[in-house]
Structure 1
Amino acid sequence: MDKTLEGVNMMMTSTDRFKCPPGIKVFNKIADFRQWRRSLLLDKKTLGYVPTMGALHQGHLSLVAAARKRCDHVALTVFVNPAQFAPTEDLGTYPRTLQKDLDLLASLGQGVASAVLVPQVEEMYPAGIELDVTKQKGTFVEVLGISNQLEGTTRPNFFRGVATVVSKFLNIVQPEEVFFGQKDIQQCFVIRDMIRDLHFPTKMHICPTVREESGLALSSRNVYLTPSQKEHALVLSRSLKHMESLYRAGTRDATTLVQAGTKLIQDERKKVQEDGEDWEIKLDYVSINSGKDLSELKGDIPSEDGCVISMAVYVGDTRLIDNLCLDVELAD
């Protein structure tokens, strides 16, 4: 196994050193979780599911609360999935805060979150898992036609890893309903199509992006931002709102909207340089895509499909994403 993966596995080896809050069952083994899941079926209780990579924040908690409103029980998975990281990405440094995560779930009140599965890498990938996809063995899932654009351009194997691990977890957890956040909108489209195509008996919900009061979309990677970077990172939501206002005022040419949003980010980049910061803002992409199939739009935006306006921006070394869905019918 890759040394990076050995380190990841050591960090996730056991929940014994963590204090489990009352009312929340924490499982390391898939078989133990399945036994608990079977007991819910025998009691005719429904289960809502929230997949996570840990480092929970209020966005995750809002998904848990939404799941509890619809289901008798809520289960989460906490798993930093190696298959969605490239060799050059931050797998080894991705925040792992299981005790804090459990405490946050407990803060929702007893009976909101019922169980957390924290599986091992070797159990999730019995054939092993290499970060280099050319060396990988075993079974993987791809959702073609919707994975290679946007995030897939910068991270070409990312959604292959996402689809694979979510399909595994849907099979393990077997929830009646699953809950995702709109902030990762392309992921939502990929999983929605995968659930449809593979006939998972699970209803998907896409819940609104949760933001800080400033407008910054909540993300586990926000912990990497300095106070100054956090302030300048507000350009993402500001740019999206500007494009939305133009759209609502009647501008329906995608290229014009992209240019307007890009200008705000370029202006913010100049501000950072003028402030003499030792880091910079760098635009990865601003894109407008069909609300139907995420195909890129260049001319008029079809009124019947709506659109997804999305962007990725590096603020220092931290890559942030955000989006708005305009006149798009999402899974509720």
Structure 2
Amino acid sequence: MASTILRCVAAPRITLPIPNVRAVSLPFHEPVRQHARAFHIFRDVPALRAYRRELLVNGKSVGLVPTMGALHEGHLSLARQAASENSEVFVSIYVNPTQFGVNEDLASYPKTWDTDIAMLKELDEELKSSGQGRITTIFAPTTKTMYPTLPPDSTIPGTGSFVTITPLANLLEGKSRPVFFRGVATVCMKFFNTVEPERVYFGQKDVQQTVIIKRMVRDFHLNTEVRVGATKREPDGLAMSSRNVYLGERRRRVGIVLSQALRAAEAAHNMGKRDRDDMLALAWDVANRMSMEQDELPETERARFEVDYISLADPDTLEEVQTVDESKGAVLSGAIKMMPLEAVRDGEKLGMGGDQGPVRLIDNIILEPPKA
């Protein structure tokens, strides 16, 4: 029999009456306080579906926020949005292996379970007095649960059951990460089929992902609505990302070059430029100047990076455009790779892994069409 895992985030453990489901405990070290609610924490599909059916019978709507953990304010903003539109918020926490290439950072991807649960608990307490929906459920499946037949495969063409959305998945990020969107679409299809949420929530920072998920929902007639939340940024403009923990002070300071480059192209658009070359030339100028500045510094002071792409694309197809269509707008996007530090100074503040691994940063700006 499948089991429901109920963990009290800040109080004695409690078991909620879910028919035919055995409740077990996992270790958690949050200090105990009185009168706090426990989250439902599921690791398998049958138990979660039993609970979901109970909600459906009782007329409760569900908003799903898919995450890979290492939560930050961007994730929390999506959960807030979900709570404003649904009775219950489900958050999935699962580091999906099939969206990592064979040489990517799957093994070192940050895993911060206790901190993630504490952040969700704090947000749920905030929602308690708002009269909105609440965060009630964490879906944290095992890999055997998500890939029950064959081990997950990140090779090309790979073996297993996959969802592919082409040509969208072959553009932009897909050129550099050929299995990434196959993995994303596959795991999201599994989540949507398991949870059957009324609405699902994704961040605008991953713009290509949002376009692909919308296409998948439409093409496969999935009974859910895709909601997209605005990109959350640090005060200096860096888009929030779980991978930012890999950036020490030096790489973190240089990493804002991507958002600065995209802002330069946006400024050209705001001044009336519509031609691709006129807009992207300013973005490349920002990136090239920062690159040359870093090259001139000694190894102990510089943080080198490589630009993968800077794009001006159609908002629906993500195909590159030469001129911005006023009726549709466009998507400015880019990706850079922060290279490992060549030399480290004594006492320097470093990121996770000692700034020795490359870090991919992505960002985008939506150029909206004029409002009617």
**Residue from 197, 200, 220 that aligns with 1:175:** 197
Question: For each residue in 1:214-259, what CA deviation from the matched residue of structure 2 results, as whole angstroms up to 9, or x when unmatched?
Answer: 1110000000001111111111111111111100111101122122
Alignment of 1:324 with 2:346, yes or no, is no
Q: How much identity, in percent, do the aligned residues show?
A: 37
Once residues 134 and 197 of structure 1 are traced to their aligned partners in structure 2, the CA distance between those partners, rounded to angstroms, is: 22
8 Å CA contact 2:250–2:303 kept in 1: the answer is: no
8 Å CA contact 2:63–2:198 kept in 1: the answer is: yes
Shift of 1:278: 5.5
The residue that corresponds to 1:274 in the other structure is 296
**Residue from 26, 32, 51 that aligns with 1:16:** 26
Letter in 1 for 2:333: S
Once residues 38 and 364 of structure 2 are traced to their aligned partners in structure 1, the CA distance between those partners, rounded to angstroms, is: 36
What pairs up with 1:58-73 in 2 under 5 angstroms? Answer: 58-73=73-88
Shift of 1:115: 0.6
Once residues 218 and 319 of structure 1 are traced to their aligned partners in structure 2, the CA distance between those partners, rounded to angstroms, is: 13
**Residue from 84, 107, 120 that aligns with 1:92:** 107
The residue that corresponds to 1:7 in the other structure is none
Report the CA distance shift for 1:15/1:142 in structure 2 as closer, same or farther (over 3 A). farther
> Following superposition, which runs of at least 4 residues in structure 1 exceed 4 angstroms of deviation?
none
Once residues 44 and 217 of structure 2 are traced to their aligned partners in structure 1, the CA distance between those partners, rounded to angstroms, is: 25
Once residues 25 and 67 of structure 2 are traced to their aligned partners in structure 1, the CA distance between those partners, rounded to angstroms, is: 16
The residue that corresponds to 1:125 in the other structure is 147
8 Å CA contact 1:308–1:328 kept in 2: the answer is: no
Question: For each residue in 1:85-127, what CA deviation from the matched residue of structure 2 results, as whole angstroms up to 9, or x when unmatched?
Answer: 1100011111111111100101113353111011011111112
Once residues 23 and 244 of structure 1 are traced to their aligned partners in structure 2, the CA distance between those partners, rounded to angstroms, is: 45
- Structure with greater proportional helix content: 1
The residue that corresponds to 2:268 in the other structure is 246
What pairs up with 1:88-237 in 2 under 5 angstroms? Answer: 88-110=103-125, 112-127=134-149, 128-137=151-160, 139-237=161-259
Once residues 49 and 253 of structure 2 are traced to their aligned partners in structure 1, the CA distance between those partners, rounded to angstroms, is: 44
Letter in 1 for 2:190: K
Alignment of 1:57 with 2:57, yes or no, is no
Task: Name which structure has the greater RCO, CA cutoff 8 Å, separation 6+.
Answer: 1
Shift of 1:328: 5.7
Question: TM-score if structure 2 supplies the norm length?
Answer: 0.81
The residue that corresponds to 1:25 in the other structure is 40
Once residues 225 and 157 of structure 2 are traced to their aligned partners in structure 1, the CA distance between those partners, rounded to angstroms, is: 34
Shift of 1:281: 1.4
In structure 1, the gaps of 5 or more residues are: 1-13
Shift of 1:156: 1.1
What pairs up with 1:258-273 in 2 under 5 angstroms? Answer: 258-273=280-295
**Residue from 311, 330, 354 that aligns with 1:307:** 330
8 Å CA contact 2:155–2:179 kept in 1: the answer is: no
Q: Secondary structure at the match of 2:168?
A: coil
Question: TM-score if structure 1 supplies the norm length?
Answer: 0.91
Report the CA distance shift for 1:328/1:219 in structure 2 as closer, same or farther (over 3 A). farther
Letter in 1 for 2:237: G
The residue that corresponds to 1:6 in the other structure is none
8 Å CA contact 2:169–2:212 kept in 1: the answer is: yes
**Residue from 277, 282, 287 that aligns with 2:311:** 287
Letter in 1 for 2:155: D
Report the CA distance shift for 1:275/1:206 in structure 2 as closer, same or farther (over 3 A). same
Once residues 154 and 324 of structure 2 are traced to their aligned partners in structure 1, the CA distance between those partners, rounded to angstroms, is: 38
Max Rg structure: 2
Letter in 2 for 1:323: N
CA RMSD of aligned residues (A): 1.7
Letter in 2 for 1:246: A
Question: For each residue in 1:67-101, what CA deviation from the matched residue of structure 2 results, as whole angstroms up to 9, or x when unmatched?
Answer: 00000000011111111111000111111111111
The residue that corresponds to 1:257 in the other structure is 279
Once residues 203 and 119 of structure 1 are traced to their aligned partners in structure 2, the CA distance between those partners, rounded to angstroms, is: 23
Q: Secondary structure at the match of 2:292?
A: helix
Moved more, 304-313 or 27-36: 27-36
Shift of 1:323: 0.2
In structure 2, the gaps of 5 or more residues are: 1-23, 31-35, 129-133, 340-357
Once residues 50 and 260 of structure 1 are traced to their aligned partners in structure 2, the CA distance between those partners, rounded to angstroms, is: 36
Letter in 2 for 1:322: D
Once residues 273 and 89 of structure 2 are traced to their aligned partners in structure 1, the CA distance between those partners, rounded to angstroms, is: 43
Letter in 2 for 1:131: S
